[in-house]
Amino acid sequence: MSEAGTFRKIIDSPLWLQILVALGLAAIVGLVVDVDTTILGASVYGILNYFGTLFVNALKMIVVPLVVATIIVGVANMAKQEAFGRVGGKTVGLYIATGLISVVTGLIFVNLVSPGHTESAQLLVDSVSVSSAQATVLEKVEGRSSMDIFEILLRAVPANILQAALEVQLLALIFVGVVFGFFMSRLQGSAGDTLRVFWDGVHDVMIMITMWIMRFAPIGVFALVGKVLIQSGWEAFQPLVWFFLTVFLALAVHFFVWLPLLLKYAGGIRPYAYYGKVLRAQLTAFSTASSSATLPVTLDSAEKAGISRKVTSFVLPLGATVNMDGTALYECVVVIFIAQLYAYTAGVDFTIGQQLIVVFLALVTSIGVAGVPAASLVAIALILPAVGLPVEWIGIVLVVDRLLDMCRTSVNVTSDLTISALIASSEKEELEDLRAA
Tens-digit pLDDT profile for residues 135-148: 444 454 444 444 45
- Residues 351 and 380: beta-carbon distance below 8 Å: no
Alpha carbon distance 256, 410 (integer Å): 12
Instruction: Report in angstroms the alpha-carbon separations of 334 from 59, 115, 324.
Output: 29, 10, 15
Specify the pTM: 0.77
- Residues 427 and 74: beta-carbon distance below 8 Å: no
Tens-digit pLDDT profile for residues 398-424: 767 878 888 999 999 999 999 999 999
Alpha carbon distance 152, 150 (integer Å): 6
Alpha carbon distance 268, 275 (integer Å): 14
Alpha carbon distance 68, 172 (integer Å): 10
Spell out the domain ranges in the chain. Answer: 3-426
- DSSP class of residue 38 equals E
Cα-Cα-Cα-Cα torsion 421, 422, 423, 425, nearest 10 degrees, comes to: 80
pLDDT at 103: 95
Instruction: Tell me the average pLDDT across 34-38.
Output: 84
Multiple choice CATH, 3-426, 3.30.70.920, 1.10.287.3510, 1.10.287.80, 1.10.3860.10 = 1.10.3860.10
Tens-digit pLDDT profile for residues 285-330: 998 888 888 999 999 999 999 999 889 988 998 888 788 999 999 9
pLDDT at 375: 63
Residue 102 makes CB contacts below 8 A (sequence gap 6+) with 254, 258, 325, 326, 328, 329, 411, 415
- DSSP class of residue 255 equals I
Cα-Cα-Cα-Cα torsion 126, 131, 135, 138, nearest 10 degrees, comes to: 30
